[in-house]
A and B are shown apart, each in its own frame.
Chain A
Amino acid sequence: MIGGVMIVVALAYLGVLFAIAYYGDWRAERGRSIINNPYVYALSMGVYCTAWTYYGSVGRAASSGLGFLPIYIGPTLIAVLWWFVLRKMVRISRVNRITTIADFMASRYGKSTSLGGLVTVIAVVGIVPYISLQLDAVSASFTLLWQHPQPVGAPSVTRSGLDTALWVTLGMAAFAVLFGTRHLDVTEHHEGLVAAIAFESIVKLAAFLTVGVFVSFVLFGGPADLFGQAQQDPALAGLLTLNDATLDYGQWAWLTGLSMLAILFLPRQFQMAVLENMDEQHIRKASWLFPLYLLVINLFVLPIALAGLITFRNQPMDADLYVLGLPLMAGSELLALFVFIGGLSAATSMVIVDTVALSTMVSNDLMMPLLLQLRILRPGERGDYGGVLLAIRRVAIVVIMLLGYVYFRVTDDAASLVSIGLISFAAVAQFAPAFLGGIYWKGGTRAGALAGLISGFLVWAYTLPLATLHSISGAPDAFLLNGPWGIAWLRPYNLFGLTGMDPVAHALFWSLFANIAAYVGVSLLTRPTVLEQGQAARFVDVFNYATNSDAVFLWRGTATVQALRSLLERFLGVARTERLLDDYAHRRGVDWAATQQADAELVQHAERMLAGAMGAASARVAIASVVQEERLSMDEVLRILDETSQVRAYSRQLESRTQQLEQKSRELEAATTELRAANERLQELDRLKDDFISTVTHELRTPLTSIRAFSEILHDNPTLDPERRMRFLAIILKESERLTRLINQVLDLAKLESGAAEWNTTEVNMTTLIGEAITASGGMAAEKGVQISTELEAEPSLTVWADRDRIMQVMLNLLSNAVKFCPTEGGRVLVSAARQGRWLVVRVADNGQGITREDQKVIFDKFRQGGDQRRGRPQGTGLGLPISAQIIDHFGGKLWVESTPGEGATFIFTLPLPADDKP
């Protein structure tokens, strides 16, 4: 009765997975990813928890107490270091467009097809026991439910329900094919897949916690009750501690170590944690969230195991099925159904991700290179090879699932789920030396990696899966007991006579021993090829390269764009190729219409795009088939990469540095000269400043002195007659006015020179301004009998942009100077303004004595006045002309003097007229 419901519910559940996956893909296509956050990332890593965790942990706990835990402690510890290790793996994979762990290894060791193939074989063979574990668990749980309500524990309920396993196998294979090979491209993230896996992680956690709570709190009085009962029971008390009967510290330690390697190198973990990572920052959250997930899902393992042991005390119930058996026993069929779905989710998540990863490896790293090298596929010819890749993947999935089934049928029925799983763990641990060596040690070579992997794999195969085939129902045969042909030191469980370790620890020790020794030894004895050295540098120093490092061109060749394009089209499809090439052209500014010959950069780019679909090694072979490769001379390569090249680069740098230094010293010399000149100029300025100050002081003292002198006279002679008193007072008044003017002008000049003066620039009509200036000076001119006449252009538009008051200041200064230096009789001043091109030219001419050539040079200096000093004290401050010159200069004009001694002087200034003003 419940069996039928179970099948319907299971199918519905798988349907939901498809829906989620399609939704995930649909969102991804629209650029609104649902998996681009650290929580989904951490949950997707929960693919680590398979049927092993779901069913097997309880079975393990029933026999070894806490012995189920090291498998989760190891990942927790390594997760602490993820920020260093996993981030590096993620970065390398993204930069090199890695598609699988086999691709990673092949790529690291010089894009080696043989290494990629070997890793694929090891991964497939190594994961087969793990797949069989899932089939085992699902078919056993299925059988248990199917036969319900037959009494639980009846003899007919065995785990290997005859053909149930085959049906489960085929069903899961079909599901994996449908689910895992929906698309060809494997480089983009499988967003739908990740979303579905994260969902499965939630389902299995919820189901397991539900059954844990149900068993602990409904069937029993809480975990404390269970532990209490166990402690009273001599048969169970031993499970509460680590001891010889359960698990000793040595086993604890190596299981922890083994699981550390497994979490990094299991193909499905690599897929989820490395390849599907959307953002390196997500690793931060995942490195505590994922261990937390592991902790939570393990909380009720021991209570359930104890409950099972107590409940099924005298029944032949497999401890691996307690999780399902307990709710069934309690008559809670609905819960049992939920538990079954939880177990199904645990198993399917593993199967989906592993088959996707493994089938990709088989197609990219094993079959494709073979087909290309055996020339069964010729990329030069027409044809759609994307379809070939997909077909290979589908066949691979079915074959892998069938291998799992075969392994399940031929191996020991009595083996527990965990012991089967550990065989796979030991297999993937073989990747560790070459992988970790590959990302932290540049010295590892392809030959070393091959040697290490082959030795480790052979020892593993001999001591674990082969050995398990010789132990039926827990009873070892002669091969195991006496060794092959009676050679005792070759006994698979006691290699070289090593005893006292359990089989997995023993196998792990010898296989890793052989593996590491061969890897390191052969690596040190062989010389890496140029390509290997290049890849080694790119992997080990990945953080030193730019994120999209195309910088290292290890390869040089020529190809036509057309050939590359048709190659890409065959593997990636026309639309995708078009898009990728357009992107490239857009980024690099290439015009395809004008480009016939592909350069090394484009070839490299095409290879990387192909690598995304078919793996680095295959891509290299495919590219080589359409490209005329020029062999890079050793010399050129060394220059790019090798350590020697660094030396050369350094020496070249040194050379150029020397040249630069010479250049610098020349520049330094020039700079020194400039500095010296500047210093001289500074000294000159300093001297000028001192002069200025002493002049100012002198100029200030002159009026002060006379003020003081006359004040004293007035003070000392109170009886001075009013007339003289008035005269002296007038002098004091005049001198203090002079003093005020002088101080004002000094301040004015200082402001002008420091640039602190305020300017109100407006439109100034010069005709008007000149008229006003003449009117203002009229009093002074009349006093001296000087006649001022003008000669202004009739045009009213002599308009300039300037500060009206300042220009007025200039005009007044020039006029007063002119009046001052006019002869006392018949003095004439002529003011004229006219346009000359773009300039307004204003002249103020007098008919005085003129200015000598020497004086013309100095009158614009401060406190220098023209004229003969002997002819009496000068009549100005000596600052008027310098100030005027500064003002005119500010507005872009010029002020100068033209004069012939004896014939008067003409002061001329220019101001620019607005450009748009019509002539």
Chain B
Amino acid sequence: MSRDVRHQWLVVIFGLGCLLFSFPLLALFNHAALIFGVPLSVLYVFAAWLVVIGLTFLSHERRN
């Protein structure tokens, strides 16, 4: 993947992040039900957070 394309990915990740942390998706997982002892809402937020970080990591650190 060329550098340019990778930089375009950043914009995509930003858009994805905004989507993950905004109303419709946030509401979708807004339940107190415990998954592995953690409320779904909490699990979702931290998981989405990790996804954004992970994708940013990949687009910066992956060497072709």
Contact = CB atoms under 8 A, between A and B. Distances in A.
Interface string A197-236: 0000000000000000000000000111101100100000
Interface of B: 7, 10-11, 13-14, 17-18, 21-23, 26-27, 30-32, 34, 36-39, 41-42, 45-46, 49-50, 52-54, 56-57, 60-61
Interface stretch (A160-168, A288-296, A407-415, A911-919): A288-296
Contact of B22 (A225, A249, A302): A249
B17 A288 contact: no
A69 B10 contact: no
Contacts of A69: 45
A231 B36 CA distance: 14
Given A73-B21, A81-B14, A242-B41, 16 more contacts: A76-B49, A77-B52, A80-B17, A80-B52, A83-B10, A222-B37, A225-B37, A227-B34, A227-B38, A231-B34, A237-B32, A242-B27, A253-B23, A284-B60, A288-B53, A288-B56
Interface string A244-258: 000001001100100
Interface of A: 66, 69-70, 73, 76-77, 79-81, 83-84, 222-225, 227-228, 231, 237, 240-243, 249, 252-253, 256, 284-285, 287-288, 291-292, 295, 299, 302
A680 B54 CA distance: 70
A79 B60 CA distance: 12
Given A66-B42, A249-B23, A241 B52 contact: no
Tell me if A's interface is mostly helix, strand, loop or mixed: helix
B10 A253 contact: no
B37 A228 contact: yes
A76 B53 contact: yes
Interface of B (DSSP majority class): helix
A228 to B, nearest CB: 7
B17 A240 contact: no
Contacts, number: 98
A255 to B, nearest CB: 11
Contacts of A231: 32, 34, 39
Contacts of B36: 224
A225 B37 CA distance: 7
The winner among B22, B46, B56 for most chain A CB atoms within 10 A is: B56
A73 B60 CA distance: 19
Contacts of A224: 34, 36-38
Contact of A223 (B23, B38, B49): B38
Contact of A285 (B13, B21, B60): B60
B49 A291 contact: yes
A63 to B, nearest CB: 16
Contact of B10 (A73, A76, A80, A295): A80
Nearest to A295: B49
Contacts of A256: 21
Nearest to B27: A249
A66 B56 contact: no
A69 B32 CA distance: 17
B53 to A, nearest CB: 5
15 contacts: A69-B45, A76-B17, A76-B49, A76-B53, A81-B10, A81-B14, A222-B37, A224-B37, A241-B31, A249-B26, A252-B21, A252-B22, A288-B54, A288-B57, A291-B53
Contacts of B50: 295
Contact of A240 (B7, B39, B49, B60): B39
Contacts of A240: 32, 39, 41-42
Q: What 9 A-B pairs have minimum CB-CB distances, sorted nearest first?
A: A224-B37, A240-B32, A288-B57, A240-B39, A284-B60, A288-B56, A80-B14, A249-B23, A77-B17
A292 B37 contact: no
Contacts of A299: 46
Given A66-B45, A295-B49, A284 B61 contact: yes
A241 B32 contact: yes
Contacts of B53: 76, 288, 291-292, 295
A241 B56 contact: no
Contacts of B54: 288
B42 A291 contact: no
A240 B10 CA distance: 31
A243 B26 CA distance: 11
A302 B42 contact: yes
Nearest to B46: A295
Given A231-B32, A285-B60, A83 B7 contact: yes
B12 to A, nearest CB: 9
Nearest to B22: A253
Given A80-B52, A224-B37, A242 B7 contact: no
Given A84-B10, A295-B46, A77 B21 contact: yes
Contacts of B61: 284-285, 288
Contacts of A287: 56, 60
A240 B37 CA distance: 12
Contacts of B7: 83-84
Contact of A81 (B11, B23, B46, B60): B11
Given A76-B52, A249-B23, A291-B53, A241 B39 contact: yes
A76 B50 CA distance: 10
Nearest to A242: B30
B41 A66 contact: yes
B4 to A, nearest CB: 12
